[in-house]
Amino acid sequence: MSEAGREAVIVDAFATLADSLVAGFDVIELLQTLVETCRRVLDVEEAGILLADDLGDLEVVASTSEASTLVETMQLDARSGPCWTCFTSAEPVSLPDVDVDAGRWPEFVAVAREQGFRSVHAVPLRLRGTVIGTLNLLGSAVGPLGDRDVRVAQALADVATIGILQERALRESTLVQQQLQGALDTRVVIEQAKGVVAHVRGVSTDEAFVLIRRHARDHRLKLADVAQQLVARELTL
């Protein structure tokens, strides 16, 4: 991608994220746009987002591949790893070479290497003192994330966080919790829908998600609604 093209994608991403500041936006679509933008414009192979539920437990709510989902899920099960540490410390965590931290996080390093990842960078989703999750960037090559990419990633994460914790939600803490919990519940239905489409169409779950998202966009529907229809067998793709 050319430098001009890269900047155009970044500007478009910020415009999309800014649109989330109005009522009625789709949280899952917002976060999926965020991770896909990171994969396109940053020097990383895949990206994912962990979001805390109303009890403070993290869940995978957006990812660019099943491989990145697996790496993040492993950290949640072990309650250990760079992304987990990023959330608990509220600070960015960078592993330019996962092998260097093999002694600190052996389970994470083993799974990361198995999935083809050699570097990981985690950025907190935070607003002032509130941390609601992490943006995780996974690279297939050893090396640090450039300063410019780090700034872009943090800026995208900040805007996305504001979109979730916008003023109308902050006025009523229960609304914030409902919104975050709703995003987590929606992701469960989406995963089920991916399995349905993958089975029916004979494609991978990654390809199934592309088909589901394309249908939602083409028909101006929410991902959650399309997923629910697929699971209920009210819709076929």
Domain coordinates of the chain in residue numbers?
3-171, 172-237
Q: Which residues of the chain have pLDDT under 50?
A: 167-168
Q: What is the pLDDT of residue 208?
A: 92
Q: In this structure, are residues 112 and 104 in contact, taking their beta carbons and an 8 Å threshold?
A: no
Closest of 71, 74, 17, 58 to residue 180, by C-alpha: 58
First to last CA, the chain: 32
Going from the C-alpha of 173 to that of each of 165, 167, 223, the distances in angstroms are 10, 11, 25
Q: What is the dihedral of CA 91, 84, 130, 134, to 10 degrees?
A: 80
Question: What pLDDT does residue 175 have?
Answer: 58
What pLDDT digit, counting tens, does each position of 114-160 carry? 999 999 999 999 888 888 899 999 999 999 988 888 888 888 888 88
**Listed residue (70, 52, 51, 53) closest to 62, CA to CA:** 51
The DSSP bridge pattern shows strands 58-63 and 93-95 to be: unpaired
| pLDDT value of position 167 | 46
Per CATH, the number for 172-237 is: 1.10.10.10
C-alpha angle with apex 106: 188 to 100, nearest 5 degrees? 115
CATH of the structural domain 3-171, one choice from 3.10.20.740, 3.40.50.300, 3.30.450.40, 3.40.190.10:
3.30.450.40
* Residues 82, 104: Cα–Cα separation, whole Å: 10
